Structure 1
Amino acid sequence: MFNLIKLEFYKLKRQDILKVLLLIVIGISAFSAFSEIRILMSDGLRGSGKEGYTNGFRDMFMLFVSGIFAGFYIGSDFSNKTIQSQLFQGYKRLDIIISKALVFFIGTSIIMLLYPITVSIIYTFKYGWGEPFTITSVLFILRVAALGIILNVGTTSIFVLLAFLCKDIPKTICTCFAFPVLISAISSTLGKAVPVIGDLLRFTTLAQMGSIIDDIILPSTVLTVFLTAMITVIIVISLANLLFAKAEVK
């Protein structure tokens, strides 16, 4: 397992895809921030760095970028026969899944965190933070970032499952793109029509993202975030292992 994790970190450093995606995220963040600023100015309104920071965590668009990362980082290992080679060398399928998932989570966490940080910096230069910047502000930034990373790990663990199901780059990217769209559609239709489904959706990692950006949150909210993400990751990785264990890898 340790050797596999070292190999994944080495691969992440050597691949250009993460660097390219980070540049794309910065570009998207800047475009989004300046577009919103123009809209606010035309309406005679003001934003703030804090507002841009919190709104960035609720923007589902970054899931599409993470989907691309999943396709090129995990899906490509099927296309270039890397995973087949690891299986031939005797590595366990679960170890392969976990090692790739761990390093993928690190990469996608950087991608997801860069967006609100970039938007917040632009907003702060234009409007200021929105309130006196104190140690409380620093703790708020760190707390939202930490809980946001935890929730994003839970959400993007679905992409690990999809990558091991699709076993190539295009299918992985397409299914990852469809995931947030499908969840949004279910939430706006069945979630409203069927109360039980709506209640269940409120406990997903995507829905929990809105609860971490309040100035003050209860310990129960933090516990719910941890449990939601942890349960999601355990279920998804277990399902990926179950399906991958039975799959024929050519």
Structure 2
Amino acid sequence: MYNLIRSELFKLRKDRSFRVLLLITAVLSLAYPLLYYFDSEERRYTGAEFLIKFMASNGYMIKFGVAALAGFFIASEYATGVMKTIASSGNDRGRLFTAKLIGFSVGAMAVSIVFPIVSTTEVSLLSGFGHLPEGVDAFFIPRALGLTLLYTAGYAAIGALFTAIFTDSGKTIGFSMIFFLMIDLILGGLGKYIPFFTTVYDYSIFKLMGDISKPSIGSGDLPALLLVPLLTIVAAGLLGILVFRRKEIK
């Protein structure tokens, strides 16, 4: 298992799509703060203020990054024949999928922290980092970054499941983007007629990811914030293994 994970991490480092995705995310992270810096002469955000105010925008980066990386890093191996070769190597398919999920998650997590780190660094160079405003939890920064990585892993597990289902880069990217962007509206709309879906949505990573950017989090909310993404990773991972084991790879 260790060698399988090492192989996936090696492929990730060498993967051109991963490098391009990191570059695109970094460029957007540099451009985004400048729009506010030059358009607002009266209000200059410090690095700390920018991180708090715009942390929620990182959710779009996560969704885009997971969808794109799922299609180019995993699903593309079906088209090139690499997946067929790997699946016929004699290794258990469950172990193969788990190793791919770990490598994919590491790549997605790397992409997810580019925006908060790069943009906050840029704003800090322009206006100084400043201080956390009154009322903001002193552990906001490490907590926000830690939860960002954890929730990205949850999204990555769902994205990896889609790659096992569609086995095609275009379909995987397209469906993942539509799913991640529309699932909030779908569950929210269904919840108006069927209360069960409201409960499902309230305790899903799609809803709780918005809480990452909260200035402070009560001790009673923290268990749900930690357990939901962990359970999502386990559930989506097991479903992905089940689909991958039964999939006929051509």
Q: Is TM more than 0.5 here?
A: yes
- Take 1:162 and 1:32, find their aligned partners in 2: how far apart are those partners? 30
- Take 1:118 and 1:188, find their aligned partners in 2: how far apart are those partners? 33
Q: Which range is displaced more, 143-152 or 203-212?
A: 203-212
TM-score under structure 2 normalisation? 0.88
Partner of 1:206: 206
- Take 2:162 and 2:11, find their aligned partners in 1: how far apart are those partners? 20
1:52-71 equivalences in 2 (<5 Å): 52-54=50-52, 55-62=54-61, 63-71=63-71
Structure 1: runs of 5+ lacking an equivalent? none
Partner of 2:47: 49
Q: Is the 8 A contact 2:94 2:241 kept in 1?
A: yes
Q: Which range is displaced more, 107-116 or 14-23?
A: 14-23
Tell me how many residue pairs correspond in the alignment. 246
Q: Deviations over 1:6-57 (max 9, x none)?
A: 211121122222211111001111222112334433xx33433223323234
Does residue 160 of the first structure (1) align with residue 160 of the second (2)?
yes
TM-score under structure 1 normalisation? 0.88
Partner of 2:197: 197
Q: Shift of the alpha carbon at 1:106?
A: 0.7
- Are the structure 2 counterparts of residues 51 and 152 from structure 1 closer, same or farther at C-alpha, using a change threshold of 3 Å? farther
Alignment identity in percent? 25
Partner of 1:178: 178
Q: Shift of the alpha carbon at 1:104?
A: 0.7
- Take 2:124 and 2:200, find their aligned partners in 1: how far apart are those partners? 36
1:114-125 equivalences in 2 (<5 Å): 114-125=114-125
- Are the structure 2 counterparts of residues 195 and 40 from structure 1 closer, same or farther at C-alpha, using a change threshold of 3 Å? farther
Q: Shift of the alpha carbon at 1:101?
A: 0.4
Q: Shift of the alpha carbon at 1:215?
A: 3.8
Q: Which amino acid aligns with 2:59?
A: M
Q: Shift of the alpha carbon at 1:66?
A: 2.3
- Take 2:146 and 2:158, find their aligned partners in 1: how far apart are those partners? 20
Partner of 1:127: 127
Q: Is the 8 A contact 1:152 1:205 kept in 2?
A: no
Partner of 1:13: 13
- Take 1:51 and 1:156, find their aligned partners in 2: how far apart are those partners? 29
- Take 1:92 and 1:117, find their aligned partners in 2: how far apart are those partners? 38
Q: Which amino acid aligns with 2:113?
A: L
Q: Is the 8 A contact 2:67 2:172 kept in 1?
A: yes
Structure 2: runs of 5+ lacking an equivalent? none
- Take 2:246 and 2:178, find their aligned partners in 1: how far apart are those partners? 25
- Are the structure 2 counterparts of residues 217 and 185 from structure 1 closer, same or farther at C-alpha, using a change threshold of 3 Å? closer
- Take 2:111 and 2:169, find their aligned partners in 1: how far apart are those partners? 19
Partner of 1:91: 91
- Take 1:38 and 1:85, find their aligned partners in 2: how far apart are those partners? 53
Q: Which amino acid aligns with 1:75?
A: A
Aligned alpha-carbon RMSD (Å): 2.3
